[in-house]
Amino acid sequence: MTQRVNYLEQSPELFKKFVEFLNAIKESSIEESIRDLVSIRTSQLNGCAFCLDMHVKQAKIHGERELRLYHLAAWRDSTLFIPRERAALAWTEVLTKLPDLGVPDDIFDRVRTQLSEKEISDLTFLVMSTNAWSRLNVAFKSVPGSSDKVFGLDKAKLS
C-alpha cells in the first residue's frame, strides 16, 4: 500500500496545530490507560490500520496488559475492564458511530455515574481528536508502522 498524500508535508501548519491539540489532551483529566483504550477502540471502529497499529504499540509501551488489548473489541463481554473504563468505552462508541437521533440519555446517564462533567468533556475532545486522526490516515492510506522509529514505537517490540 502506498500513502496517497503526505498531509504533514502538504499542510505543515495545520498538522502542527493539530499536534498541539493532541498534546493538550494528554494533559487532560483522563488518565493515560483510558486514553490508550479509547484511542484503540476508536481506531478499531473506524477501520484505521495506521492508528490501530500506533495506539496498540503506545499502550504496550505504557504497560497495558496484552490480554486486555485482545479483549478490547469485545469489552462489553469481558471481565477485564472496570466500570470507569466501560463508561469511557461506551461514550467512545456512541460518539464515533453517532446514532441518527443523537446520544441517548441512558448512555449519558451511565457515563455520568463514572466520570465527572470535566472528565466527560475532556474524553469527548479525545474521541473527537482520535476520530479526526483516523479520518486523515484512512483518507490518505497511511501505512501502518511507517512512523514507528519517529514516534519511538519500535520500543513496543511488536512487528
What CATH number corresponds to the domain at position 57? 1.20.1290.10
Q: Is residue 148 part of a domain?
A: no
Does residue 83 register a pLDDT over 90? yes
Q: Is residue 98 part of a domain?
A: yes
pLDDT of residue 28: 95
Angle at 98 between CA 96 and CA 99, to 5 degrees: 145
- Identify the sign of the CA torsion 142, 146, 150, 151: positive
pLDDT of residue 149: 80
Residue 33 sits in which domain range? 29-143
Q: Is residue 87 part of a domain?
A: yes
Closest CA to 141 of 58, 14, 47, 10: 47
pLDDT of residue 92: 98
pLDDT of residue 151: 75
pLDDT of residue 157: 76
pLDDT band at 144 (very low <50, low <70, confident <90, very high): confident
Number of domains the chain is built from: 1
Q: Is residue 157 part of a domain?
A: no
Q: Could you tell me the CA-to-CA distances from 89 to 19, 79, 83, 104, 149 in Å, in that order? A: 23, 14, 10, 15, 29
Q: Is residue 41 part of a domain?
A: yes
What mean pLDDT comes out for the span 16-28? 94
pLDDT of residue 118: 98
Q: Is residue 14 part of a domain?
A: no
Q: Is residue 77 part of a domain?
A: yes
| 72 vs 143: which has the higher pLDDT | 72
Residue-wise pLDDT for 88-99, tens only, equals 999 999 999 999
Q: Is residue 5 part of a domain?
A: no
pLDDT of residue 147: 79
Report whether 56 contacts 40 (CB < 8 A): yes
